[in-house]
Each structure stands twice: as C-alpha cells, then as structure tokens.
C-alpha cells in the first residue's frame, strides 16, 4: 500500500491577465496530481520571465528581489507540507493553503465582511437602512485611509484601540448633510453598524475574537419636538394663497392626523384604503423603515384632505392618494408656512409624526398602546419617548385623579 505522497511547487505567470507588460505570478501546489493555485500578490515583467527556470532572468534589483521572494515562498510552502506531516494531519492542497495563510485560511478584511453583508443582507433591509450601512462603510474607509494610510484593514488586526480611534475620528468628522461635527448618537449608530459587521465575521469564524466585547455603545435619550396645539391650529387654519404651499400644508396636516411618515405617505395608493372593523375608512400599509404593519382609522379631517385630491391631475398621474412632492421641497415650503404663521420653531415634516403622537393623540387621552400600533413601532418603549414630553397630559391626569378622590370622599 502506498503511504507516501508526492509534493511539488510550480511558479507560473497568468499571461492572459497581463497589463502594460506585467502579469501576476502564482504558485501551483500539487499533491498526488491534485493541484491548487495561490496568488502571490506580485507581478513580473513578462519579457524577463523564464517559464522553465520559473524565475526572472534579469540582473537588476527588481528581478533579484523577486527571485529571492519566490525562493522564500517555496520554502514556506514546503514547510507547511512538512508541518502537516509532523502533526499527523491530512496532507491536502487545501490544508497546505490554509496553513500558508494562517490557521483561519484566508485573511479576511473589513471590505470582505461589508461586501458579504451588503450582498446577503440588503434584500432584508429597507432602502433607507441599506443607505445608512453604506454611509457607515464610507466613514470606515475614510478612517482607515487617514489613520493608517491604507485602503483596507484585516479583521485579524482589529483590537480595542481600533474601536476607540474610530470613535474619536467620528466625533471630529463633519456630517455629510449638516456640515457640523457628528453628534454622540450619530457616532454610536455608525459604531453599532461596524460592531454588527465584526460580530457577523466572528459568527462566520473569520476571526477568533471580537474587539467590541469591552466597548459599550450608549445612546443619549433625545426629547421629541412637536407642535403645540396653538401652533398646530395656526398652520391648519391659515389662509394660504399659494397653491404649492397649500398642497404641502395638506400633506403635513394629514400626517398630523394619522402619524404616517413622509416616506410612507407619498406612496399611499387607493389599494391602501379599506373599511375597518368599525365600518369606517382605514389606511392599511407597511412602514418602509421596518416593514411593520400600520393600520390607521381615519379621522374626518384626514378624510376631508383625501377627498380634496380625488380628482387631482397630479395624483392621477402618480396613482397616489396625495400629491407627490420631494422631501427637500416639502421641508423648504414648510419653513415658509411657519414664517407666515409667525412660528419660530424649526418646522420639518417629521414634526408632524411627533405632533400626532403628542398633541393629537396622547394629550387627548389615546392609550399609549394604541398610539404605538398606529405609529408602527416595534417596541412600546419607543412610543414612551413621546409620552415623557406630554406635560399637559400629566397635569390633566393628576387633576382627574384629584377630582375622583374628592368625589369618593364626598360620597363617604
């Protein structure tokens, strides 16, 4: 029975990939007629390559250095073969390659894990969420270029110091949109996305340790701004002569009475209208942000706005329930409306969603569980952020409690 195996190494150049007279050089390892090619990440000058000698024929410094490099790589590959034999492990071309590149085989990089995530996971994410991952990836690239003057970084090199330095880099970096330094929560979000990438690599066994284990990312609670009842009525009641401002105001007020975000609102079609369990008109859709189901029983004022655009030419073209206006234009025109209403507050479209949760719903006694359902939140704790800022509701509830106690005492 044959117990020995034949092992050989052949260096060759990939002439079909030649460019500007240079071609990449490979090592072909063979064991018992089984072959496997390994890229050596080096290029040689084709005119100087001797395929028989498997070396460069030149006597210049480049040729001498390259030939010495090939000698070293031959020794490394032969050593890998010998180590497998001494360790009593199966000697295959695959195992030699793994040994050559380290115990984990291929040395994966941050670009590799981002590419893996973008390829396998983007189909499960909304376009907006995918865009945020791309933004975080670009910040990582800028950091590596600035801090290490490289275009990529191996996962095996990652350590706690890398995370701390990235955190500091982000805090000193200006936002692409707001042109000011990234705030704490924005920094934490980018780090959380990188942490998710590294954790994914750890689960894939691309790395054997997770440098984020000792890093705690904490978000600072932000107070949700909203329109007071007074300012809300100002915008709702103001007589706007401009058609463009009137249409934007209608979109904004509709969101204030439904809690539907801009991104979901401009996509609403007739298919999203249905008759609910109470026999009245509802909107049924899914949040673009998280895919959660949203079911909103429509108030009369919201229905009035829908009726206004039933035969609107622009809506017929887009096949939507309401006019489709860009988010940028909507926010630009809302600032004009706020100025006409003498409202000093920074009014953006997302303020409408906050206004629904606070001024329209919670302040008028709607249970927080119901508000959470309408807003399409995954967790009740997300909705509770709104409840914390409704001071008037707290006062009203306490007054009602006091009145109830007084009634009980009077009866006794």
Which pLDDT does position 366 carry in this prediction? 83
Strand order from edge to edge, sheet including 273-275: 273-275, 281-286, 293-297
Residue in the block written with tokens 């249409």:
247
Which pLDDT does position 1 carry in this prediction? 36
Q: How confident is the model at residue 211 (pLDDT cuts 50, 70, 90)?
A: confident
pLDDT exceeds cutoff 70 at 342: yes
Candidate from 34-48, 203-217, 259-273 with smallest mean pLDDT: 203-217
The pLDDT tens digits for 71-124 are 999 998 998 888 888 777 778 888 888 888 875 446 688 999 999 999 998 888
pLDDT exceeds cutoff 60 at 154: yes
- What number of other Cβ atoms are within 10 A of residue 175's Cβ? 12
Q: Report in angstroms the alpha-carbon separations of 278 from 98, 273, 281, 354.
A: 65, 14, 9, 26
The pLDDT tens digits for 22-31 are 999 999 999 9
Burial class (CB in 10 A: 0-12, 13-18, 19+), 357: buried
Q: Which one has a higher pLDDT value, 338 or 384? A: 338
Q: What angle do CA 215, 139, 208 make, to 5 degrees?
A: 45
Which pLDDT does position 332 carry in this prediction? 92
Which pLDDT does position 221 carry in this prediction? 63
d(CA 31, CA 91): 8
Which pLDDT does position 113 carry in this prediction? 94
Candidate from 36-40, 304-308, 370-374 with smallest mean pLDDT: 370-374
The 3-state secondary structure of 119-142, one letter per residue? HHHHHHCCHHHHHHHHHHHHHHHH
Which pLDDT does position 391 carry in this prediction? 58
Which pLDDT does position 3 carry in this prediction? 47
Which of 90-99, 218-227, 253-262 has the highest mean predicted lDDT (pLDDT)? 253-262
Query: 104 is written with which tokens?
Result: 């984990």
Closest CA to 67 of 77, 75, 76, 57: 57
Q: Residue range 63-67: average pLDDT?
A: 91
Which pLDDT does position 53 carry in this prediction? 93
Please say whether the beta carbons of 383 and 365 come within 8 A.
no
Candidate from 100-109, 283-292, 394-403 with smallest mean pLDDT: 100-109
What is the percent of the chain with per-residue pLDDT over 90, rounded to a whole number? 37
The average confidence (pLDDT) of the chain is 85
Q: Residue range 292-299: average pLDDT?
A: 85
Pairing of strands 22-31, 34-45: antiparallel
Q: Residue range 332-360: average pLDDT?
A: 89
Which pLDDT does position 138 carry in this prediction? 94
Which pLDDT does position 395 carry in this prediction? 67
Q: How confident is the model at residue 399 (pLDDT cuts 50, 70, 90)?
A: confident
Concatenating the DSSP letter of every residue in 213-248 gives TTPPP-PPP-PPP---HHHHHHHHH-----HHHHHH
- Alpha-helical (H) ranges within 149-183 are 160-171
The pLDDT tens digits for 161-187 are 899 999 999 998 887 666 678 888 888
Query: 299 is written with which tokens?
Result: 């108030």
Q: How confident is the model at residue 8 (pLDDT cuts 50, 70, 90)?
A: very high
- What number of other Cβ atoms are within 10 A of residue 14's Cβ? 13
The pLDDT tens digits for 373-382 are 888 777 776 6
Which pLDDT does position 237 carry in this prediction? 92
The pLDDT tens digits for 316-335 are 999 999 999 998 899 999 99
The pLDDT tens digits for 116-144 are 999 998 888 877 788 889 999 999 999 99
Please say whether the beta carbons of 204 and 120 come within 8 A.
no
Q: How confident is the model at residue 228 (pLDDT cuts 50, 70, 90)?
A: confident
């Amino acid at each position: 029975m044959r117990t020995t195996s034949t092992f050989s190494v052949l260096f060759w150049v990939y002439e079909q990939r030649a460019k500007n007279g240079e071609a990449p050089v490979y090592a072909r390892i063979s064991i018992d007629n089984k072959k496997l090619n390994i890229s050596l990440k080096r290029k040689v000058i084709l005119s100087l390559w001797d395929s028989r000698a498997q070396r460069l024929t030149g006597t210049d410094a480049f040729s001498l250095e390259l030939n010495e490099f090939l000698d070293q790589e031959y020794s490394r590959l032969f050593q890998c073969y010998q180590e497998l034999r001494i360790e009593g492990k199966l000697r295959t071309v695959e195992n030699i390659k793994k040994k050559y590149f380290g115990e984990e085989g291929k040395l994966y990089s941050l670009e590799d894990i981002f590419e893996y995530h973008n390829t396998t996971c983007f189909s499960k994410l909304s376009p907006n969420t995918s865009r945020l991952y791309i933004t975080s990836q670009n910040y990582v690239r800028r950091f590596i270029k600035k801090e290490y003057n490289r275009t990529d970084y191996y996962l095996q090199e990652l350590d706690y110091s890398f995370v701390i330095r990235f955190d500091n880099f982000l805090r000193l970096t200006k936002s692409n949109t707001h042109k000011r330094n990234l705030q704490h929560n924005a920094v934490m979000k980018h780090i959380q996305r990188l942490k998710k990438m590294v954790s994914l690599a750890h689960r894939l066994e691309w790395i054997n340790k997770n440098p984020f284990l000792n890093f705690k990312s904490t978000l600072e609670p932000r107070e949700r701004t909203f329109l007071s009842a007074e300012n809300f009525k100002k915008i709702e009641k103001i007589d706007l002569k401009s058609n463009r401002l009137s249409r934007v105001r209608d979109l904004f007020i509709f969101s204030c009475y439904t809690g539907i975000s801009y991104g979901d609102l401009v996509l609403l079609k007739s298919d999203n209208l249905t008759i609910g369990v109470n026999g009245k008109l509802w909107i049924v859709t899914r949040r673009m942000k998280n895919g959660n189901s949203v079911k909103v029983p429509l108030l009369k004022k919201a229905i009035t706005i829908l009726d206004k655009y039933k035969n609107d030419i622009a809506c017929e073209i887009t096949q939507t329930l309401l006019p489709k206006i860009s988010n940028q234009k909507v926010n630009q025109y809302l600032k004009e409306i706020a100025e006409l209403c003498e409202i000093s507050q920074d009014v953006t479209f997302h303020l409408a969603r906050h206004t629904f949760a606070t001024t329209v719903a919670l302040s008028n006694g709607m249970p927080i569980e119901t508000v959470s359902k309408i807003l399409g939140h995954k967790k009740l704790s997300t909705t509770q952020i709104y409840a914390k800022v409704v001071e008037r509701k707290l006062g009203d509830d306490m007054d009602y409690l006091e009145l109830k106690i007084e009634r009980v005492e009077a009866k006794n």
